[in-house]
Amino acid sequence: MDKLVIRGGVPLKGSLRASGAKNASLPILIATILAPGEHRLVNVPELADTSSTLSLLGRIGCPSLVDGDAVRLDTTRIAFSEAPYDVVRKMRASVLVLGPLLARQGEARVSLPGGCAIGVRPIDQHLKGLEALGARFELERGTIHGRAGRLVGADIQLDMPTVTGTENILMAAVLADGTSVIRNAAREPEVVDLGRFLQSLGAHIEGLGTDTLTVHGVARLSPPSRPYAICPDRIETGTYLCAAAVTGGDVEVTHTDPTLLTAVLAKLEEAGCTVHTTPTTVRVQGPARLRPFTLETEPYPGFPTDMQAQLMVLATLADGTSELTEHIFENRFMHAAELLRMGAHIEASSHTAVVHGQERLLGGPVMASDLRASAALVLAGLAAEGPTEIHRIYHLDRGYERLVEKLQGVGARIARVEDHVAPEAALPAEPAAARAAAP
């Protein structure tokens, strides 16, 4: 297995390019099932989760070809209607095949995802919405088996604005007979991007980006003639901006959309950063010392739970006490325990973390527990004194395209090596060039 070795303390400077959004790519790749034929997508990030999705689609009978950020998919035939345990176990988003398979095939089997490092994460709302459209479900040995005749439009009230739940129901509703209304729908930009993709296939959807989606079902959908471009990854963008903040650096992220990051940019300003935006770029300059702040995660357009771990690293270095409250997931402070090992001062209870900022963090060996917790440890390593080793980095491969390359491009001292390699061997205490130049 690989690990990351980081030598922190270098203020990051320069420009890097945002990738396409993971959480838009996954539902959009899966939504191609709804329109038989050949699809072309661009700005698809090369990630472990993208490969898992394409391999799932391959097992269903839809082959694909990847060329950099471009993906061709042939969804002409569906051979199987099942997402087996070995795929779902690796990627919870596999549950997104339920809606499209029921709509196209009238049948779907999906192994139940179970819990994960950030909480129990049930799918009751997905099932409730699909049942309202006419599907029937049975649980068979850990696998949910859905059947449906032609789906029929319905009025669906979600208990909470679940992101993948809204997406699953939306993908089923576009091929249902008549009109569906999804109330308390998720407003996340990734849901909007999926909706736009569905519109490009011929779906009739009103209210994208609001909490009420109205869908007028159509009899069939077909692949668009032009390639569809996935929206930029706002969480990846935000993570790199935080890297500028914690190192006192100056980083610009290009090919992104600052309007998707309003709550995050406001928090960075509150923490003392200077933020400059253009329609497609964001630049953040970190201050000499960060300021403390309070933060509460909320559904979009509130502060995203997927940036909470990264902001906690800013709080560990702030000049005072910050308070972070997590409202979306029940167990999303796993990074706090690892940050304590780096000298941070955090009191975390189930939903609130009180962070007493300090002047420095100290590098050391740490363990990644989930994707965004891993990103937080990378940020802590970039800010810390001495080498940091991050183990279990397969989590990062799920969601950050070419992370090491991108960070090296803005001056970070970071390397990916096999677990047994000593940090000194991976990254000498000073860069070779500096040592050679020394008298």
Task: Give catalytic residues, as residue numbers.
Answer: 116
The binder of ligand EPU chosen from 57, 215, 309, 371 (CB under 6 A): 371
At its nearest, how many Å lie between ligand EPU and the CB of residue 47?
10
Tell me how far, at minimum, the Cβ of 226 lies from ligand EPU, in Å: 25
Rounded CA gap, 116 and 104, in Å? 29
* CB-based contacts of 113, cutoff 8 Å, min separation 6: 88, 89, 92, 94, 95, 121, 123
| 214 is an interface residue for ligand EPU by CB under 6 A | no
Among positions 69, 82, 252, 306, the unique one binding ligand EPU when judged by CB under 6 A? 306
CB 147, min distance to ligand EPU, A: 20
Q: What are phi and psi of 177, to 5 degrees?
A: -75, 125
**Which residue lies nearer to ligand EPU by CB, 122 or 343?**
122
Q: Listing from the earlier edge strand, what are the strands of the sheet with 143-147? A: 82-83, 107-111, 143-147, 136-140
Sites for ligand EPU among residues 160-179 (CB under 6 A): 160, 162-165
* 395 near ligand EPU (CB under 6 A): no
Q: How big is the site for ligand EPU, counted in residues (CB under 6 A)?
A: 23
Query: Does residue number 123 form part of the binding site for ligand EPU (CB under 6 A)?
Result: yes
Residue 26 is a binding residue for ligand EPU (CB under 6 A): yes
Cβ proximity to ligand EPU: between 269 and 330 the closer is 330
Contact 246, 314 (CB under 8 A): yes
Q: Which strands make up the sheet holding 387-391, listed edge to edge? A: 365-367, 387-391, 2-7, 413-418
At 349 the three-state DSSP class reads: coil
Q: Is 125 in the site for ligand EPU (CB under 6 A)?
A: yes
Sequence-separated (6 or more) residues with CB below 8 Å from residue 403: 378, 396
Helix (H, G, I), strand (E, B) or coil at 128: helix
Among the candidate windows 120-128, 147-155, 340-348, 404-412, which touches ligand EPU by CB under 6 A?
120-128
Q: Considering the complex, what minimum distance in angstroms separates the CB of residue 244 from ligand EPU?
A: 21
Please identify, using beta-carbon distances, which residue of 39 and 187 lies nearer to ligand EPU. 187
Asked whether position 389 contacts ligand EPU by CB under 6 A, the answer is no
Comparing CB distances to ligand EPU, the nearer of 10 and 144 is 144
Indicate whether 346 belongs to the interface with ligand EPU (CB under 6 A): no
Is residue 160 within 8 A of residue 88, CB to CB? The reply is no
Give least dist CB 190 to ligand EPU, A: 6
Q: Pick between residue 209 and residue 343 the one whose CB is nearest to ligand EPU.
A: 209
Compute how many other C-beta atoms are within 10 angstroms of the C-beta atom of residue 226: 9
Q: Does 369 bind ligand EPU (CB under 6 A)?
A: no
396 CB-near residues (< 8 Å, 6+ apart): 4, 368, 371, 374, 375, 378, 403
Write out the two tokens for 203: 């779906």
| Residues at the contact surface with ligand EPU, assessed by CB under 6 A | 23, 26, 93, 119, 121-126, 160, 162-165, 190, 305-306, 328-329, 371-372, 399
